[in-house]
Amino acid sequence: MPGRLEGKRALITAAGQGIGRATAEAFVAEGAEVFATDLDLALLDGLDCETFALDARDDASVRAGVDRAQPDVLFNCAGFVHHGSVLDATDDDFAFGFDLNVHSMFRTIRAALPGMLERGGGSIVNMSSACSSVIGAPNRFIYGATKAAVIGLTKSVAVDFIKQGIRCNCICPGTVESPSWHDRVKALGEEMGSYDKAMEAFVARQPMGRVATAAEIAALVVYLGSDESAFTTGHPHIIDGGWSGQ
């Protein structure tokens, strides 16, 4: 049985840990030729595919990575969660959030799309979040604004290239277990005076009573990257344990 991504070259940003890493592993298991990249090269150790450093905030780094990978599937996973309301946000934080969470996708898509068009098609999967234009989450002002922008960016790319074999979708996860999520639980725990209470608060947001595993999110990226989703483009795909479905 051929893998669901057999014959496809896939470039993944932020594949060192969390959802990006789980997706690199799932893509390898499904037969893709995977180019797993991260700002921090050391985090890519142990992955069974080609790995190299790529800074999604740096155009030269992105262009070099795309030249090397020549991807049919591009998974834009890099992103950062700022904590706080509009009154906590600084101009620098706001600019950083948009640069890493949104502008990075402009860079990678601009670099990867001409090759995809030349080869007759491609699938782009962008990382948004349930916290976006789907729902507002407390203290996620910069994050929610950036992830809503990802949905608009996704739709725009999808509509412009739909006749040329390019699909562009984004995914909107709820809370997902990852190293940075554990850091956020710790930070909230310090604010609330108890790590356990912070954990309870995060889990309580998910009606299923648990957070997602990174592998559960990777399964959706495999589907969107593969030809199984050939009739699907221009959509945010919500995978949030029922958070926004209530």
Ligand X SMILES: NC(=O)c1ccc[n+]([C@@H]2O[C@H](COP(=O)([O-])OP(=O)(O)OC[C@H]3O[C@@H](n4cnc5c(N)ncnc54)[C@H](O)[C@@H]3O)[C@@H](O)[C@H]2O)c1
Q: What residues line the site for ligand X (CB under 6 A)?
A: 13-14, 16-20, 38-40, 43, 54-57, 77-79, 81, 100, 127, 129, 173, 175-176, 178-181, 214
Of all residues in the shown chain, the one whose CB is closest to ligand X is 79
Alpha helices in the chain (DSSP H): 18-29, 59-69, 91-98, 104-119, 141-161, 179-192, 195-204, 214-225
* Closer of 31 and 106 to ligand X (Cβ): 106
Pick the closest to residue 237 from 132, 157, 140 (CA basis). Answer: 132
DSSP state of 140: B
* Closer of 52 and 121 to ligand X (Cβ): 52
CB neighbour list of residue 183: distance below 8 Å, 6 or more residues apart: none
Instruction: For the CB of residue 43, give the shortest distance to ligand X in the complex, in Å.
Output: 5
Contact assessment for residue 125 and residue 170, using Cβ atoms and an 8 Å cutoff: yes
Token digits of residue 2: 């051929």
* Closer of 121 and 152 to ligand X (Cβ): 152
* Closer of 165 and 205 to ligand X (Cβ): 205
223 catalytic, yes or no? no
Q: Can you list the positions of beta strands (E) in 49-152?
A: 50-53, 73-76, 122-127
In whole angstroms, what is the distance from residue 131 CA to residue 244 CA? Answer: 9
Instruction: For the CB of residue 104, give the shortest distance to ligand X in the complex, in Å.
Output: 7
Instruction: For the CB of residue 67, give the shortest distance to ligand X in the complex, in Å.
Output: 17
Determine which one of 35, 141, 143, 181 is catalytic. Answer: 143
* Closer of 5 and 135 to ligand X (Cβ): 135
Instruction: For the CB of residue 237, give the shortest distance to ligand X in the complex, in Å.
Output: 12
Instruction: For the CB of residue 164, give the shortest distance to ligand X in the complex, in Å.
Output: 27
Token digits of residue 112: 């990867």
Sign of CA dihedral 108, 54, 96, 183: positive
CB neighbour list of residue 95: distance below 8 Å, 6 or more residues apart: none
What residue has token string 């990978």? 69
In whole angstroms, how large is the CA radius of gyration of the chain?
Answer: 17
Report, as residue numbers or ranges, the catalytic residues. 143
